[in-house]
Amino acid sequence: MGDTRETAVVKDDVALVAEAKAGSYEAFEELVNRYENKIYRLGVNITGSPEDAEDVLQEAFLKAFQHLAEFRADSRFYTWLVRIAVNESLMKLRKKRSDRSVPLEDEIGEDGEPIPRELADWKPNPEQIYAQAEIENVLRDAAQKLPATYRTVFLLRDVEDLSTAETASVLSLTEGTVKARLFRARLMLREELSKVFKRG
From 17, 46, 61, 81, residue interacting with another protein (rule: CB under 8 A): 61
| Interface region with another protein, contact rule CB under 8 A, candidates 7-15, 58-66, 76-84, 100-108 | 58-66
**Alpha carbons 185 and 181: distance in angstroms, whole number:** 6
Q: What is the CB-side half-sphere exposure of residue 12 using CA atoms within 13 A?
A: 4
Work out how close the CB of 102 gets to another protein at its nearest, in angstroms, rounded to a whole number. Answer: 18
Q: Which residues pair with 198 in a beta bridge?
A: 122
From 32, 71, 79, 87, residue interacting with another protein (rule: CB under 8 A): 32
Work out how close the CB of 98 gets to another protein at its nearest, in angstroms, rounded to a whole number. Answer: 27
Contact pattern from residue 175 through residue 194 relative to another protein, giving x for each residue in contact according to CB under 8 A and a dash for the rest: ----x--xx--xx-xx--xx
Question: Is 104 among the residues that bind another protein (CB under 8 A)?
Answer: no
Work out how close the CB of 187 gets to another protein at its nearest, in angstroms, rounded to a whole number. Answer: 7
Please state, in angstroms and as integers, the Cα–Cα distance from residue 66 to each residue in 21, 86, 91, 156, 174, following that order.
Answer: 10, 17, 19, 24, 29
**Alpha carbons 86 and 153: distance in angstroms, whole number:** 10
Is residue 71 within 8 Å of 77, Cβ to Cβ? yes
Question: Is 17 among the residues that bind another protein (CB under 8 A)?
Answer: no
From 54, 79, 103, 169, residue interacting with another protein (rule: CB under 8 A): 54
Amino acid, single-letter form, for residue 126: P
Question: Is 135 among the residues that bind another protein (CB under 8 A)?
Answer: yes
**Alpha carbons 171 and 32: distance in angstroms, whole number:** 23
Question: Is 23 among the residues that bind another protein (CB under 8 A)?
Answer: yes
Is residue 146 within 8 Å of 190, Cβ to Cβ? no
Cβ neighbours of 196 (radius 10 Å): 18
**Contact residues for another protein, defined by CB under 8 A:** 23-25, 28-29, 32, 36-37, 40-41, 44-45, 50, 54, 57-58, 61-62, 65, 113, 116, 118-122, 126-127, 132, 135-136, 139, 154-155, 158-159, 179, 182-183, 186-187, 189-190, 193-194, 197
